[in-house]
Structure 1
Amino acid sequence: MAKLNVEIVPPANADVNAVLAQMERKYAGLPATPTVIDEMEREAARLIRRLVKTKVTFVKG
Structure 2
Amino acid sequence: MATYQILYLLSIPLILAAQYRFARNELLRDRYDRWFNNLSLGFINEALLLALDLSGYWLTRISA
Higher strand share: 1
**What range describes the TM-score normalised by the shorter chain of this pair?**
0.3 to 0.5
- What is the TM-score when the length of structure 1 is the normalising length? 0.47
- What is the TM-score when the length of structure 2 is the normalising length? 0.46
